[in-house]
C-alpha cells in the first residue's frame, strides 16, 4: 500500500520509495521500521513520528534537530541520517546498523571481560569527543542507545533529546524530555539543569561501571529512589565488587562519576587518555565509600541535608505534572 500523510503504517507498506519490511521498535514518540530503498536496494531504518507528535510544533522541531545532528556528524561511531529528497510526510531515514544493543549483551553476559569493556568505552569516548567538538550533547546515553556489531564496533543511536549548544533552546520546558533515563542520568540533570558534555561523561561512567561489575552503581525500588541515591552518595568502589579491577581503573571510574561536574573529566578526550595510559593515573589512597563526600556534619544537620536533597526529585516530578497539565 502506498501511504499518505497520517496513514497508520504497517510492515509491507510503501512510503515514497521505501518498502517497510518490519517494525523494529515503538516508543512514545515514534515507530522505527527496517526498510528497503527501492531505488538502490539498500537497507535503511525509517523513523516515523506518531500523529500526535506531528501536531506539536516543539516535538516536530526536536525531531528535525535529531535529523540534522545525524547529517552533520561524520564519525564511524555515530549513526547517520539521510536527507536531500522530497517526502510525502514527516519521517527520518537512518543508516541501518547490524548488531546487538549493548543492553542485550549485558543481559546475556552481565559483566564483560575488562579488556573488552575498556575497548567499548574507548570507542564511545571517541564518538563523544567528535560530537562534543561539534557542540552536540547526547543527554541520554544508556546501553539501549549503543549498538555493537559482530566485530565489537559501536554506534551511538537515538539523538531524540540531544542538544546543540548553538541552537535555539526548545527542550528545557519539557522536564521529562530533559531528564533522560533515571539509571544513567547525571546529578545536574536530576536537578533540572540542561547538562553539558560532562553529563555525557557521567552517563558513560555509569555504563562503564555496569560493563565491569555486572550492575549499575545505583539501584532502588523506583526511578525517584535511584535519582536520589546519586544526589546523596558516591558509588560503591567498583573494585570492591570485582577485585580484578586495578586501583587505576577504579580511580578512572571515580573521576567519571564525580557528582560535581567541575571535579569530573572535563572532556571525553581526557578520560580516553587516562584509559589508554593507566600506569600514569594517580590513585587516591582512600577508596571512596557511598557517603556524602568530604562532609562531616552533626547528626541533626546531616538528617536535614538528606531530607532537603531527597525532596529535589519530588519537586521536579511535581513540576513535570504541572507543566503537562498546562
Distances (CA, A) of 126 to 76, 184, 272: 10, 19, 8
Residues 6 or more apart from 28 whose CB is under 8 A from it? Answer: 50
Establish whether 21 is a catalytic residue: no
Catalytic residue (one of 140, 183, 200, 234): 140
Active site residues: 140
Amino acid at each position: 500500500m502506498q501511504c499518505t500523510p497520517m496513514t497508520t503504517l504497517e510492515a509491507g507498506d510503501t512510503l515514497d520509495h521505501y518498502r517497510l519490511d518490519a517494525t523494529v521498535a515503538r516508543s512514545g514518540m515514534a515507530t522505527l521500521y527496517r526498510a528497503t530503498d527501492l531505488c538502490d536496494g539498500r537497507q535503511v531504518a525509517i523513523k516515523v513520528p506518531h500523529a500526535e507528535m506531528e501536531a506539536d510544533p516543539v516535538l516536530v522541531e526536536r525531531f528535525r534537530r535529531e535529523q540534522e545532528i545525524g547529517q552533520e556528524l561524520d564519525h564511524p561511531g555515530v549513526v547517520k541520517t539521510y536527507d536531500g529528497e522530497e517526502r510525502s510526510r514527516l519521517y527520518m531515514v537512518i543508516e541501518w546498523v547490524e548488531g546487538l544493543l549493548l543492553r542485550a549483551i549485558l543481559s546475556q553476559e552481565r559483566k564483560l571481560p575488562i579488556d573488552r569493556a575498556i575497548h567499548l568505552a574507548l570507542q564511545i569516548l571517541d564518538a563523544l569527543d567528535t560530537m562534543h567538538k561539534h557542540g552536540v550533547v547526547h543527554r541520554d546515553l544508556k546501553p539501549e542507545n549503543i549498538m555493537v556489531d559482530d566485530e565489537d564496533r559501536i554506534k551511538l543511536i537515538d539523538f531524540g533529546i540531544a542538544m546543540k549548544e548553538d541552537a535555539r533552546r526548545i527542550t528545557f520546558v519539557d522536564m521529562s524530555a530533559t531528564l533522560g533515563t533515571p539509571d544513567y542520568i547525571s546529578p545536574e540533570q536530576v536537578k533540572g539543569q540542561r547538562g553539558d558534555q560532562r553529563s555525557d561523561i557521567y552517563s558513560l561512567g555509569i555504563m562503564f561501571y555496569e560493563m565491569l561489575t555486572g550492575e549499575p552503581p545505583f539501584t532502588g525500588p523506583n526511578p525517584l529512589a535511584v535519582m536520589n541515591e546519586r544526589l546523596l552518595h558516591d558509588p560503591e568502589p567498583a573494585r570492591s565488587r570485582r577485585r580484578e579491577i586495578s586501583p587505576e581503573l577504579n580511580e578512572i571510574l571515580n573521576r567519571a562519576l564525580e557528582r560535581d561536574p567541575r571535579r569530573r573529566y572535563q572532556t571525553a578526550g581526557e578520560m580516553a587518555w587516562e584509559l589508554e595510559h593507566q600506569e600514569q593515573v594517580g590513585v587516591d589512597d582512600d577508596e571512596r565509600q557511598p557517603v556524602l563526600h568530604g562532609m562531616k556534619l552533626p547528626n541533626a544537620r546531616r538528617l536535614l541535608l538528606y531530607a532537603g536533597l531527597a525532596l529535589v526529585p519530588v519537586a521536579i516530578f511535581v513540576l513535570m505534572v504541572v507543566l503537562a497539565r498546562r
